[in-house]
Structure 1
Amino acid sequence: MSILRNISTGRLPAPALMVRTGVHIALGMLGVILVAQTISAEWGLPAQSLMQVVAVYTGISVFVCIQLRNHMPQRNFGAANFLTLIRAVIVSLFAGIVGHSSLVPEMGAWLLVYVGTIALILDGIDGWIARRLRLHSLFGARFDLEVDAAFIFILSLLVWDSGKVGAWVLLGGAMRYLFVFAGCAIRALRQPLPPNRRRQIACVIQTATLLFSLSPDVQPIVASSANGVALTILIISFGRDVRLLLASERAAGIHP
């Protein structure tokens, strides 16, 4: 329980919210394990695959518990966060494929592309629902952001694992985490960024390009070219955010 405590206010999320969130997380874990076991049996994946799936989903669950206090004053987990949790389940299942891509049959590869596309579509729907039903919260925004980042990172690992693109493709997947790491040393980078359509588009392009690269029919030269363009767009987007934050630092007189 202490992990959920808001140190700044001393408040805990409402008991009903904690219970409902716990139920959602538990059902997600059950679904993750059942689907992962089915896939492993069908594709002949090793036991390590299931461990990878559970590890990623557990990490996401811990994040949810830690950040839940920021969902106040909402009293329900909410439809938007439920869709984000479904995306988290999909991301966790994809994580189980990392390192075992050679065992995935062609039909399985197409299935990954289709399911990944569904996750990408849900990424647009959950935000719309949150705004439409006024369910938005700091928790929901952060939850959505971190699931996006995890999805891009895992997709970049899968594309690299496929052998179609060199290790440089991992830079796109690591971009968010490099940004957070830099923020540990540079205070200006820890400031909140205002919503920005350009940032959203760059994220969608990166995700869609990685999914496209996983298609069995896509040749290495095409995958490399497409990812090169997508990575360039992502770097430019992050670069503009960094410049904006540093400019805000100078204007406000904030120092690292």
Structure 2
Amino acid sequence: MITQDGRVTGQLERHTAQGVAAQFLLLGVLWAVTGMGAVGWLTGAVWGVVLGGVLLRSRKPALGPADQVTLSRAVLTGGVAALVADGGAHASVVPLMALTTAALVLDAVDGIVARRTGTESALGARFDMEVDAFLLLVLSIYVALFLGPWVLAIGAMRYLFVAAAQALPWMRASLPPSMARKTVAALQGIVLAAAASGLFPYPVALGLVAFSLATLVWSFGRDTVWLWQSRLSYEGDRSLPATGYRTDRSRTSHP
């Protein structure tokens, strides 16, 4: 007889397998539509395999409704990465923007689903954040091909923050809720998508992305100052989560 734990574990494996299969199906569609080559296939495949491995190692009993929305967004992000890796500056703009737009829309959906279904969790929030961060990294790489390498700072910022937290324990404390942080995080994807669309003249795109980067630097800087000022409290209370992120799906943390 299958135990309860065994049944739930099977659910996680099934959801993971479906996500990986969807990734390869999307790659096949992109190949048929754009003629995507081996580099794109390899990039998308690696993302799909890594995604599957991370989910299976997460020890979640199963993916909740919000997590499944995030998984769908992860698959779309893998498609964006495949197109950018394969085509570079000549990536097919229409499918690229279609996938990016869908991923950004779903980014607003998974938090709502989590709250309405009561399935908020620290792992869910982390999953959501990692997908956000990777999408911003891919978009910043694409936009940097047109506007310059400085745009890569948008995609790299969150990873630099995490790297700093590995060396500085006081940076691992949970940040307080902030609507400003949430707004800045959402702004990055919207602005990068707008710049990637090619609909704006170069000076306008340059100004928008520069402003977006400035707000991100301000947001990370403000949070770093707050963490520094709160370091004594963190050092005195090791019960605080050592993640540097909030444990809900409200997306008030950095991407």
Superposition TM-score tier, normalisation by shorter sequence: 0.7 to 0.9
Where does 1:179-198 land on structure 2 (aligned, <5 Å)?
A: 179-198=161-180
**Aligned residue among 32, 35, 41 for 1:44:** 35
Which structure exhibits the higher relative contact order, with contacts defined as CA atoms closer than 8 Å and separated by 6 or more residues?
2
Gaps of 5+ in 1: 1-12, 70-74
Q: How many residues align?
A: 233
Is the CA contact (8 Å cut-off) linking 2:79 and 2:99 kept in structure 1? Answer: no
The one-letter code matched in structure 2 to 1:101 is G
TM-score by length of 2: 0.84
Query: Is residue 104 of structure 2 the alignment partner of residue 120 of structure 1?
Result: yes
Query: Is residue 155 of structure 2 the alignment partner of residue 173 of structure 1?
Result: yes
State which drifts further: 187-196 or 220-229. Answer: 187-196
Gaps of 5+ in 2: 239-255
Q: 1:63 corresponds to which residue?
A: 54
SS in 1 for 2:59: helix
Where does 1:89-168 land on structure 2 (aligned, <5 Å)?
A: 89-99=75-85, 100-104=87-91, 108-161=92-145, 163=146, 165-168=147-150
SS in 1 for 2:197: coil
SS in 1 for 2:16: helix
Q: 1:6 corresponds to which residue?
A: none
The one-letter code matched in structure 1 to 2:59 is L
Query: Is residue 198 of structure 2 the alignment partner of residue 209 of structure 1?
Result: no
The one-letter code matched in structure 1 to 2:12 is T
Q: 2:218 corresponds to which residue?
A: 236
The one-letter code matched in structure 2 to 1:239 is G
The one-letter code matched in structure 2 to 1:39 is L
Q: 1:5 corresponds to which residue?
A: none
**1:115 CA drift (Å):** 2.7
Once the two structures are superposed, residues 188-235 of structure 1 have per-residue CA deviations (whole angstroms, 9 ceiling, x without a partner) of 111222332222111110000000011132232222111000001011
**Aligned residue among 51, 63, 68 for 1:77:** 63
Q: For residues 181 and 200 of structure 2, what CA distance do their matches in structure 1 show?
A: 26
**1:154 CA drift (Å):** 0.8
**1:37 CA drift (Å):** 2.1
Is the CA contact (8 Å cut-off) linking 1:17 and 1:77 kept in structure 2? Answer: no
Q: 1:23 corresponds to which residue?
A: 14
Q: For residues 130 and 204 of structure 2, what CA distance do their matches in structure 1 show?
A: 29
Is the CA contact (8 Å cut-off) linking 2:164 and 2:171 kept in structure 1? Answer: yes
Q: 1:228 to 1:14 in 2, by over 3 A?
A: farther
Q: 1:16 to 1:244 in 2, by over 3 A?
A: farther
Is the CA contact (8 Å cut-off) linking 1:56 and 1:92 kept in structure 2? Answer: yes
The one-letter code matched in structure 2 to 1:82 is Q
Q: For residues 41 and 64 of structure 1, what CA distance do their matches in structure 2 show?
A: 29
Q: For residues 103 and 36 of structure 1, what CA distance do their matches in structure 2 show?
A: 18
